[in-house]
Chains A and B, each alone.
Chain A
């Protein structure tokens, strides 16, 4: 085909595909085919926005105990004009605490997942690519990690490290890599048999070049999905730890510790459970929808 032929033929295919002459952008096509990615993505974006601008969005200092924040009998105030989500049993603004709590949740969720991603991917690649005894060693350690009750493991490590935000994501991240390592290893085992890996060796590529430029990009899709889902899970885990009292320490606001505090007075102040609970639901749902949507998007078997 001569080059002069190309533009009209491209135009022709587009016209045939869209009889009205409307050419859809790639963005719109993906949006239509994978709405979950966008619903989940939007929810996650809202969460990130809130976490970043918590100090601008919050009407009050989250730790300030308002003199007018408690009823005459010392009970928390129900949602009203000043405190739109009510106050807690110390007279603090629930709405402000909720916004600041998003920071902690997201920070722990993201950093813990990144640490797991890094450790799991490194070990998985080494395991899958080099095989032999190193593979057996890493996989047996992985089995051990998976056999332990995860929360107990994290609780023990946090107890040793002293509870703080940094130590929580460190503990979750350092202990949570096992499933990533397994999935990465399985992917590497599949990818390294492809002829393009052999071809890269035949070109004289170094070992690291093959690992990082040939193998790694080809296994990223499931890893990205897994990490997205892990962020949601790790946020939930942070709340669990804080709920149990070994997570973020007061007065730092965290959704888990808010739930723990609210639990004691929920009979007459149920809003103390509703809002942090809903915030947690929203965040985890957002990451799960995004993760599932990405899985669909990356699924090569799905017809596009």
Chain B
């Protein structure tokens, strides 16, 4: 499999009252063609900033300070806006968390699906509408010929997320960035949407970057996982490796805070404490203050990504003293 997206050493900062502060630091990962990469972490760990950096949709007070983002070998960082616009929606498409507010309430469904076709492919009105109906059928919306002329408020959350996916699929992108696509949906609908994404990925031969905090979704969907904490990648590797042999204490904490159905009901374990704020990033390991295994070294010195096995890395000093069971 060849590499589709290569993110290396990306640092994105935001302007605050205390100067520029990095929201993500030195983030590197790759997505291969046809692969689904999960990006996991709690709120505020930089998952969304990572995806917005790739799309270069950061707000005016944010900027990519260092690093490179290569898509099919082409550097995206520093690309002029009108060049970047041709990439957005065409090569890389995005779906968002809130299907209720992601659709424009004043335009018909068909027009919104046709929008990117008209922008990127120069489709005419009738042509775009016909393609919109086709796309609605592709994402499994019944009565596509009628729905195409409806306004978004007539649709349920699950239906709207299907429409969002149809919009994203319109130009046949090579990469779909899904930012918590199922968080706002109820469980049965979640399963349907995930099934749909899996089906489309196979049919259209695209890669997916799935941002989520739901490890259940990761286990179900992803080939590889990147775990982020406080703006840094703390562990990455194949799904199986991560689930069978979680090596960073944070990943271990995340996995043990999933409620389980089998076995005796115990109090759900949680990770004590909070993510350090941008202003007060510790010098050493960012997880040290919450880590049950923290040593003096963890507080003063920050570990780099250290190999666990094969393509499995973790940013933890425990890896240095191999064999320590976490």
Q: Interface of A with B (CB < 8 Å)?
A: 1, 3, 6, 131-132, 194-196, 198-206, 209, 213-214, 217-218
Contact = CB atoms under 8 A, between A and B. Distances in A.
Contacts, number: 67
Contacts of B89: 202-205
Given A202-B93, A203-B119, A205-B115, A196 B143 contact: no
Contacts of B60: 131-132
Contacts of A201: 57, 88
Interface residues of B, number: 30
Interface string B64-101: 00000000000000000000011111100110111001
Contacts of A217: 104, 106-107
B136 interface: no
B233 interface: no
Nearest to B102: A195
Contact of A1 (B94, B119, B142): B142
B94 A202 contact: yes
Given A6-B143, A201-B88, A203-B89, A195 B101 contact: yes
Contacts of B106: 217-218
B119 A199 contact: no
B101 A203 contact: no
A204 B57 contact: no
B96 A195 contact: yes
Max count, chain B CB within 10 A of own CB: residue among A131, A194, A199, A218: A199
B90 A199 contact: no
A200 B116 CA distance: 9
B104 A204 contact: no
Interface of B: 55, 57, 60, 85-90, 93-94, 96-98, 101-107, 115-116, 119-120, 142-143, 146, 164, 167
B103 A204 contact: no
Given A199-B102, A204-B87, A218-B105, 10 more contacts: A195-B102, A198-B57, A199-B164, A202-B57, A202-B93, A203-B167, A204-B88, A206-B119, A214-B104, A217-B107
Given A132-B60, A204-B85, A204-B90, A199 B96 contact: yes
20 contacts: A1-B143, A6-B143, A6-B146, A132-B60, A194-B101, A195-B98, A195-B102, A196-B101, A198-B96, A199-B167, A200-B104, A200-B115, A201-B57, A202-B55, A202-B88, A203-B167, A204-B85, A204-B86, A206-B85, A218-B106
Contacts of A203: 88-89, 93, 115-116, 119, 167
Nearest to B116: A203
A206 B119 CA distance: 9
A201 B142 CA distance: 28
Contact of B143 (A3, A199, A202): A3
Nearest to A132: B60
A1 B85 CA distance: 39
A209 B89 CA distance: 15
Nearest to B100: A195
A131 B60 CA distance: 10
Contacts of B103: 196, 199
A209 B112 CA distance: 13
Contacts of A194: 101
B80 to A, nearest CB: 13
B87 to A, nearest CB: 7
